[in-house]
Chain A
Amino acid sequence: MISTRQLAYRYADGPALAFADLDLPQGGVLLLGGASGSGKSTWLALVAGLVAPSAGQLEVAGQALGFGAAALKNSALDAWRARTIGFLPQKLHLSAALSVHSNLALAQWAAGQAQDDARITQALTALDVQALASRKPAQLSGGQAQRVALARAVLLEPQIILADEPTASLDDEAALASLALLQNTANSHGATLVIATHDSRVAAYFAENLSEKGLQRMKLLRQ
């Protein structure tokens, strides 16, 4: 779950951002909307523990992410992020030097885990890209690459999946397939899904495929 109260973040050389309170249960879906510069990325960074809030309370998957003395030590924060957060960036950032299989192994390495080939195969199979395991990212289509990136995001079975503009630059059909994949993957892992987007197709998809109870929307305004 994600819970925030009077959450705020102040840039070193910029304005302070204040965010609305939120209680997102485990397994829920949050659509994070807002224009460019409204603080979507900052909110995601706060939830991922990449930046510390300057005020307010933030609890993610049972872990209070405070500031000052309450802040987790860097190494503890890294370990927490590795086991809690799965991240699907807009630009997928699959390492071009490595094969699909090695890209997933790299995620295990980054998280400090021993390489588990069976788990990698399982994650790739679940997303129907096991046959591409030995290919380099440059040899994948856009949709295949996104599936691989999603496999990487859920490899460590995170409690929260953060997806940043997953449908940007996709046509309607691909966008729908991508959202279905995200939803199904999150469901199968019981993970909370946070999607930062300003794509109206995302809202429409979830309005159609998810009950109002499970879906929350938060629109950030430029401050």
Chain B
Amino acid sequence: MKIIAISWQYLWSRPLAAALNLLLLSLGLASITFLLLVSHQLSTAFERDLAGIDVVVGAKGSPMQLILSGVFQLDVPTGNIPLAAVQELQAHPQVARLIPISMGDSFRGFRIIGSTLDYPAHYQARLEAGAMYSMPMQAVLGAQVARESGLKLGDTFTGTHGLASGGHAHGQNPYTVTGILTPGGTVLDRLVLTSLESVWQVHEADTALDDDDRQIMQAEREVTLALIQYKTPLAAVTFPRFVNTTTDMQAAAPALEITRLLSMLGVGLDVLRALAGVLLLTAALSVFIALWGAVRERRADLALLRMLGAPPRKVAGLLVCEALWLALLATALGVLAGQGLSALLAWALQLEKSVLVTSLSWPAELAAVPVLALVVALASALLPAWEAYRVNVAGLLRSS
């Protein structure tokens, strides 16, 4: 008979207490798992979407709003900026690459983004079918858009005004699907990509009163923002100041804004972490009480084991092994529940067409969960094991 088998049988000899302790410990570990997964996946999603973008230039307003709308496609943009001003920036000696972005319409809640082919290229987008847009009113669908809309190559659709569904439909200017992207886990998955000209064409056709009006509008074309990559990291010191002080636009550094955002989110995460900590502490106390009770209840049994020749460390090991069983089971259940919750969140965010969080991931940080379970179990078992270690065998004779 092995100690693992004996301790397993001892553990389940009080099924209610064992199940309750398991539940408590699993809940604590599930919360920790969920928090670890969400923080990891959010920062991964942010990093993925931010990769290679040093600064975002757009209309003046909240810099965080500019980043959220321009990079993550989450918020509404701060306004539009003149195309001419963006073209001037493109010629700036510190700018290596500039990707203009134009937005304002959506299709079934998915944003229609007008840009150059540099935009999908920046995220190393690959086509699952068809080709990239090469003419106005051609569109390439992100993987999620294609999946949810059911559109296929050659299908046509019309955008609606505004970034949420339910706006005025631009019925006279339908888009034709020329390509569908493979899922890349980036912001592109939930976007409809088209050329800048398409966006301009839709709005000019809708709002111009006559040809003269259209010509004026063409001369005053705007984009929403520009994603910029520097030639040298040193540009980070001077370029934003240059834009902010000499133009009517604002430059916002994504890294800075995201750090700010994460620190704001961090307060919430800290509260959740504290709650998970309280749950774990409660579980530790409960396991301790159960093991302490087990030692008291089985004092004579444990003494008899000593009488039968078991050294004290073996008797104490039995208690520790019981706690380790709890830790092992709670880790498995906790991680599973945490992954389940995370999958639920991923599903909800996908419904909201928000940041993409993958449903199953195993980041290295998850190693903290079994470690935590082990620490809680061992800490809870410490005193009961010590009590078992020093159980009074001679007392067994006297009490019997």
Query: What is the CA–CA distance of A223 and B397 in the complex, to the nearest angstrom?
Result: 19
- CB pair B397–A78 under 8 Å, yes or no, is no
Candidates A51, A75, A87; contact of B307 at CB < 8 Å: A87
Query: What is the CA–CA distance of A111 and B394 in the complex, to the nearest angstrom?
Result: 18
User: Nearest chain B CB to A30's CB is how many angstroms away?
Assistant: 16
Query: Which of B106-114, B223-231, B297-305 is found at the contact surface with chain A?
Result: B297-305
- CB pair B309–A98 under 8 Å, yes or no, is no
- CB pair B397–A45 under 8 Å, yes or no, is yes
Contacts of B306 in A (CB 8 A): 50, 78, 110
CB 8 Å contact bits of B5-34 with A (1 = contact, 0 = none): 010011011000000000000000000000
B366 near A: Cβ within 8 Å? no
Query: What is the CA–CA distance of A97 and B3 in the complex, to the nearest angstrom?
Result: 14
B351 near A: Cβ within 8 Å? no
Candidates B9, B304, B311, B314; contact of A102 at CB < 8 Å: B9
- CB pair A82–B9 under 8 Å, yes or no, is no
Given known A87-B308, A110-B309, A115-B1, contact A165–B400 (CB-CB < 8 A): yes
Contacts of A112 in B (CB 8 A): 309-310, 314
A10 near B: Cβ within 8 Å? no
CB 8 Å contact bits of A209-221 with B (1 = contact, 0 = none): 0000000000000
Contacts of B236 in A (CB 8 A): none
User: Nearest chain A CB to B7's CB is how many angstroms away?
Assistant: 10
Main secondary structure of the interface of B (DSSP, over half): helix
- Closest A-chain residue to B303, C-beta based? A93
User: Nearest chain A CB to B31's CB is how many angstroms away?
Assistant: 31
User: Nearest chain B CB to A140's CB is how many angstroms away?
Assistant: 16
Query: What is the CA–CA distance of A156 and B307 in the complex, to the nearest angstrom?
Result: 13
- CB pair B307–A106 under 8 Å, yes or no, is no
Contacts of A90 in B (CB 8 A): 400
Q: A41-B397, A164-B400 are in contact. List 14 more A-B contacts (CB 8 A).
A: A42-B394, A44-B397, A48-B307, A48-B397, A50-B394, A78-B306, A89-B396, A89-B397, A93-B400, A98-B6, A106-B1, A109-B1, A109-B2, A109-B3
